[in-house]
Chain A
Amino acid sequence: MIVAVPHQATDQATDQSADQSTDPAPPRTARLHRPLTVAEAVEILADGDAEILAGGTDLVPALRARQREPRRLVALRRVLELRSRGASANMLIIGAGVTYHDLTGWSLSPGLAAMARVVGSPQIRNTGTVGGALGTANPRGDLLTFLSAVGTEIVINSARGARTVDVASFLATGLAPTELVTAVRLPRPCGPQVYLKIGSRQAASAALVSCALVVDRVHERVTCAIGGIAHQPTRPAAAEEFVRQGVDWSTGTIPADVVAGFGELVAEAAGAVPDPLPDDVGVSAAYRRHAAGVLAARAVGRCLPAAAPGAIPGSAGPGSAGPGSAGRFRS
């Protein structure tokens, strides 16, 4: 039996010495499965000690650096049934093998398309998949923030059958090693959707803070998710309710003080998460909380036009009940 031993990090300097013929500890990965169907894939996963290879943008570098050494790999590139996407009257269904590039320009979901367009670089968008983003569940993942805002069901298959779980529970509990994310189901858009993020360089690093905001003109609702604050996207429930009451749904406009108050409530919610991500180098948690409020106010302002001053009576406008200092979060 060969035991994996700790291996020094592979970087540019040690690249040549990492040549496999001189490597003292051979990689543990011994088998690659390339199933053609979901049924084949979950059967292989049922045997255990296997990692799923979706787009490879996270896993392949980790394999190369020997941060991960699964005994077996299950590559999904040839499972064509995972690459489909479609819509019913009120739902969108997207296969786990759909790439960001495939979502770019998808007319059925302009918000999702706009989000996909700002993920990483063309190289990453051409390979990274919906299922891969969920499997990796990077707290800074763009897609996770968006799916959390719209309210998404994750379809999971295993050899024992299929189950469906909402995205928040999925991110809280994760996948069993024998399970495979096969699709996501989300409501068809019923209004404007915006995805905004702040970071250093889009193509080379994940967003520090992200905000997805979804307006539902039919059900008169605004939902919002903030990424980069906690280990999974944060849904600021109080802020969502505040803005729902503050919008004039007959005209779809929003008073400036509601926009500002919304930003403050989102920043407040970001400060109250039970499991905040630690301070980054040069980027404090306090900055990220502030940025969350700025992004949320900007997002709602982009989705809903400003109400004409005085259009909403002060007594009826719930905006008057919100936190003060209107305009503080306007950029």
Chain B
Amino acid sequence: MNNDGCARGDIAGGSDGDAAALAGCGTGRRVSYQLYIDGGIRLVADAWLAESLLGVLRDHLGVMSVKDACEQGRCGSCSVLMDGRLVASCTVLAADAAGAVVTTVAGLGAGGPARAVRAAFLAHGAVQCGFCTPGFVVAVTDLLARRPDADEDEIREALAGNICRCTGYGRIMAAIRSIQDTRR
């Protein structure tokens, strides 16, 4: 859907008229568009075009479980799933996420695997200051869905993009191993 009516600050979608690429028309260089967040459609109103998904989630949509730390894709505290793949939301352009399915820790579900991950984190004290925890829960849930029987090396490698500055990795590992044990 093209909107040539907008002089500037607009999103030119593809020629397929994809409704999800809803092109907005804002004032100046601000744009409005829709994102699929945690199973619902959220309207992003008057955001700058150059904003990251992390910035839009926190500053426009109030999704505060997605944490803002390095803003360089290095620390993993802003991890979300985008179309089912683990990404750092600070490296995603929010307006380009229109049409993608974005899942934060809240959207992983009240039951099922994510519940087991949360329960194991609590049971093993895998939470210290808690800042990195939402990102870790997303990453661990993603890992156990893809590789339920991952060994220790694989777990450590899969979590290398999530940094815990309290260095509570031992408890996190223990939590993951306990989930694997209960599944056997």
- Residue A163 at the chain B interface, CB threshold 8 Å: no
Name the B residues within 8 Å of A44 (CB-CB): 12
- Residue B45 at the chain A interface, CB threshold 8 Å: no
Of B13-21, B104-112, B122-130, B171-179, the stretch lying at the interface with chain A is B13-21
A35-B14, A60-B90, A101-B85 as given contacts; A30 in contact with B49, CB under 8 Å? yes
> Is the CB–CB distance between A30 and B11 below 8 Å?
no
- Residue B119 at the chain A interface, CB threshold 8 Å: no
Of A90-98, A120-128, A269-277, the stretch lying at the interface with chain B is A120-128
- Residue B65 at the chain A interface, CB threshold 8 Å: no
Measured as residues with beta carbon below 8 angstroms from the partner, the interface class of chain A is 35 or more
A303 and B74 alpha carbons, distance in the complex (Å)? 32
Name the A residues within 8 Å of B29 (CB-CB): 26-30
A29 and B93 alpha carbons, distance in the complex (Å)? 12
A32-B11, A63-B52 as given contacts; A126 in contact with B73, CB under 8 Å? no
Nearest chain A CB to B14 CB, angstrom units: 4
Name the A residues within 8 Å of B149 (CB-CB): none
A272 and B155 alpha carbons, distance in the complex (Å)? 41
**Binary interface encoding of chain B residues 67-93 relative to chain A, with 1 for a CB under 8 A from any of its CBs, else 0:** 011011111100100000111101111
Q: Which of A10, A33, A201 contacts B71 (CB 8 A)?
A: A10
- Residue B145 at the chain A interface, CB threshold 8 Å: no
Name the A residues within 8 Å of B59 (CB-CB): 19-20
Q: Which of A30, A35, A101 contacts B8 (CB 8 A)?
A: A30
> Is the CB–CB distance between B8 and A123 below 8 Å?
no
> Is the CB–CB distance between A12 and B48 below 8 Å?
no
> Is the CB–CB distance between B12 and A33 below 8 Å?
yes
Q: How many residues of B contact A (CB 8 A)?
A: 50
- Residue B43 at the chain A interface, CB threshold 8 Å: no
**Binary interface encoding of chain A residues 63-75 relative to chain B, with 1 for a CB under 8 A from any of its CBs, else 0:** 1110001000101
A33-B12, A121-B76, A127-B88 as given contacts; A56 in contact with B93, CB under 8 Å? yes
> Is the CB–CB distance between A202 and B160 below 8 Å?
yes
Nearest chain B CB to A181 CB, angstrom units: 18
A28 and B47 alpha carbons, distance in the complex (Å)? 13
Residue of A15, A56, A59 with most partner-chain B CB within 10 A = A56
Q: A59-B93, A123-B86 are in contact. List 6 more A-B contacts (CB 8 A).
A: A12-B71, A15-B68, A20-B47, A44-B12, A123-B73, A126-B85
Residues of B within 8 A of A (CB): 8-16, 21, 28-31, 47-52, 55, 59, 68-69, 71-76, 79, 85-88, 90-93, 95-96, 99-100, 139, 142, 158, 160-163
